[in-house]
Chain A
Amino acid sequence: MRKPFSRLRDGLAKTRRAITEGIRGALDRGTGLDSAALDSIEETLIAADLGVETAMHLIAGLRERFGSGATTEDEVREFLALEIERALQAAETEGVQGEPGAPLVVMVAGVNGVGKTTTIGKLSRLHVDEGRSVILAAADTFRAAATEQLSIWADRSDAHFVGGQLGGDAAAVAYDALDAAIARSADVLIVDTAGRLHTQKNLMQELVKVKRVLGKRLPSAPNELLLVIDANTGQNALSQARMFDEALGLTGLVLTKLDGTARGGIVVAIARELAIPVRFVGTGEAIDDIEPFDSSEFAKGLLGVDEAPSETT
C-alpha cells in the first residue's frame, strides 16, 4: 500500500456522495425502513450501476436485518458496505505467479475503448518500479496505430516492446514476443490484444487462438488473463465478463476510468454472479494512476464508511 486512503476513494467520490445522500433522504422521512424508504435506497444503489438484481438482494438483506423499524443512516451504510465487501471478497483469489525461471505472462482483453493499452502501460510501470524487466507485446494488429500507441507506453514505462504488422496475425506476434521474453529472460510479458465486442464470434476465436499459442510456447502461459472493464459501463459489463470468461477463463478484472464520475458498481454484480475478482483499478490518465484493488476499501469508499482522518485535510 502506497498510502492509507488512496485514489480509489477519490474515484468513488461522486458516487459515494449520491449514495450517502440517497440513504439520508430515504430515512429523513422519519418512518424508518418502510417500503418507500427501501425503494428509494434501492434506486440509489441502482444509480451506482450495481444492477437491479444486486440492489434487490441488498435491500432484502436490509429488510431482514432491520425489519421496518427505526434505523440510523450509519447502520444502513455499514450494513451495505459489509455486504458488498463480502460479495467482493468471496470472489477473491490468490495472486498469480509465473513458472519458476520463466516470465510471468499476462494477457489483456476487453471490448473497444475500455482502456486496454493505457492499462498495460500502467501495469508495465508497476512491474518496472518493482525492479522487474518487462516486455510489451502489441498483438492488437487491427486498430490503426494501436502498435504505435503501445510502443509509446513501452518507452514511458521503460519496458521493451515487440510489435507486428497492421493486419498481421495476432497469435504470431504473441508467440514471437513470448519467444523473445524467454530468450532475454524477461520477468514479465504483457500481451495487448485488439478490442472486440464479446458477441463477435470470430474475433473471440482469435483470442482463444492467441491464448492457445502462448501455451504452446510455455505450458503455464498465460498465467494471468485480465479483462479490462470501463467503470462507465452499465449492465452490459456482466455480459462482457460472462462471455470473455467462457471463451478464455479469466483470472481477474481491471476496472478503468474510475476517476470521480464513473460508478463502477457493476464489479459487485460481476463478483456475485461470476465470482471473478478485480485485480487493479485505473483512476486517471497518468502512468501511475493505477493500484491493486482492495475489496474492503472499495466497499467502504462506495458507502462512505470509515472516513479517514487524513482525508479531511
Chain B
Amino acid sequence: MFEQLSERFQSAFRSLTGRGRLSEANIEEALREVRRALLEADVNFKVARGFVEDVKARAIGEDVLKSVTPGQQMIKIVHEELAALLGGRADTFRIPSGAPAVVMVVGLQGSGKTTFCAKLASYLRQRGKSPLLAAADTYRPAAQDQLATLGGQLGVPVHVGEAGADPVGIASTALREARETGLDVVILDTAGRLHVDEDMMSELDRIREATKPVEILLVLDSMTGQDAVNVASEFAGRLDFSGAVLTKLDGDTRGGAAVSLRAVTGKPIKFAGVGEKLDALEMFHPDRMASRILGMGDVVTLVERVQEATDLEDAAKLEEKIRKESLTLEDFSEQLQALKKMGPLDQLVGMMPGMSKVGRVDVDERALARIEAIISSMTPDERRDPGIIDGSRRKRIARGSGTTVQDINRLLKQFDAMKKMAKQFGRLGKRGKLPGGIPFAM
C-alpha cells in the first residue's frame, strides 16, 4: 500500500538519519519533501499543507535540534502525527444483537460497494451473525445479479427487488424479510452515485429514514485523487455516515485519499479491502498504516496473518521437531500450505520491514506450486527420510511432478540448508517463537 510514500519519506530524512548536525534549513528541506510526498500520494493539497505545519510546529516545540538523534526524532514525530491523523487506534465494528440491524453501504460508481457488501457478509458470518444481502442498486445493469451471484458463492441469502422497483421499497421489504426469517443483519447495497447528484442523494436520505441503519459505510476507492475531500465531505454532510471503507489497497496506490478523508470528516476508516477474494477484508489499522508509510513495515499484520493461518498445536509440534532435529519434507510441505493460506506472497513481502526500499520484489508463486508437486510425487518414506532419494528415485519424482532432476536436486539442497538452519535454532535452546515460519529461500 503506501510504499512509494514511505520511499519519499525515507529519502527526505536520509540526511537527518545521518550523524551530521541538523539545522533549521534541514528541517525545512525535509518538510518540503514530506509535503511533496503527500501531494504525490494524492493527499489533498490543503490537508498536506496543514499536516506539514503541524509537524513543523511540533518539531520546533520539541526542540528536535537539541536531541541526540534529531533525524529519528523527526521521523517519530511525522509517524505519530500521521497515525493520529489516520485515526490513532483501530476502530471496532460491532453490530448490536436483537432486532435485525441494517448496515447501509454507499459510495461513488465503481468504488467497490457490491464486492465489499459480500466481503462484509462473509466477515459477519464468521463472527456468528446471520446476514441478509439486499440489492437496492436498481440502476446499474445486472448489479442485482452480481450481488445474487456473490451471495450464492457465500451461501448467504440475497434479497433482490423487482425490476424497476423503488430502492427505498426494496430496503424496507428486505428488513421485513430478515425479521420474518430470523436473520440479524441486513447489508444494504445501494447504487453508485455522484455526491453532487441531488436526486440520488435524497434517495439515500429516504432509505436511511425507512431502515434506521446502525452503520452507514462510505466506500472510497483508495486510488481517488484530489476530489476525495469533496466526496467525503458531501457524503458526510448529507448522510452523516458512521465510517469509511478503503478499497483496492492491494494495488500500488499511495492512498493519500485516506488521509484526506480523515482530515475533512474525522470519520473512522473501519475496513480495508485488499483483494478480489471474498475474504480479502481487513480492519483498518491507522498505526500500522502509518508505520508502513514510513517504511517500518507492517509486521503486526504479517504476524496476525501467520497466526490465523497456523494451527497453534501444529506450531508447537514444529518447534518440538526443530529442537529434536527431526524435520521432514512432510513438515516442509505443511509449512507451504500454511504460507499459501496467508495470501499472495508479494503482499506478504511488502509488509516486511525494509522491503519497500528494495523495490518491487518478484515472488514466483509458480515455484511454490512446483515444490508442492515435487513433494507430493514422493513416497511417504522419501518424505520422512530424503536421504534415501537416489538417482533413479529422482528421475521418477521428476517424471511424476512434471519437473526435471535439477529441480529435485535444488529442492533437496534447499531443504538440507533449511534443516541446518533449524538445527542452529534448536541449539539456541530458546523457546523462541517460530510462528509458522517462512522456512525456505527461493
Contacts and interface: CB of A to CB of B under 8 A. Distances in A.
B132 interface: no
Contacts of B224: 232-234
A37 interface: no
B316 to A, nearest CB: 35
A112 B276 contact: yes
Interface residues of B, number: 49
Given A234-B224, A235-B225, A263-B225, A197 B251 contact: yes
Nearest to B152: A144
Interface residues of A, number: 44
A153 B253 contact: no
B150 interface: yes
Interface in A256-278: 257, 259-263, 266
Given A43-B45, A148-B142, A152-B141, A234 B251 contact: no
Contact of A144 (B36, B42, B150): B150
Contacts, number: 131
Interface in B262-303: 276
Contacts of A187: none
B221 interface: yes
Which of A46, A142, A200, A239 has the largest number of chain B CB atoms within 10 A?
A46
B278 to A, nearest CB: 10
Chain A interface helix/strand/loop/mixed: loop
Contacts of B228: 234
B148 to A, nearest CB: 8
A202 B36 contact: no
B150 to A, nearest CB: 5
B110 A261 contact: no
Nearest to B144: A145
Contacts of B140: 149
A114 B251 contact: no
Nearest to B110: A113
A266 B225 contact: yes
Contacts of A237: 223, 225
B227 A232 contact: yes
A234 B40 CA distance: 9
Given A199-B346, A233-B223, A234-B223, 5 more contacts: A49-B42, A112-B248, A115-B110, A148-B145, A236-B42
17 contacts: A46-B45, A46-B226, A47-B44, A111-B248, A112-B248, A144-B145, A144-B149, A145-B142, A145-B146, A148-B142, A197-B248, A202-B365, A234-B42, A234-B226, A236-B253, A257-B109, A266-B225
Interface of A: 43, 46-49, 51-52, 111-115, 142-146, 148-149, 152-153, 166, 197-202, 230, 232-237, 239, 257, 259-263, 266, 285
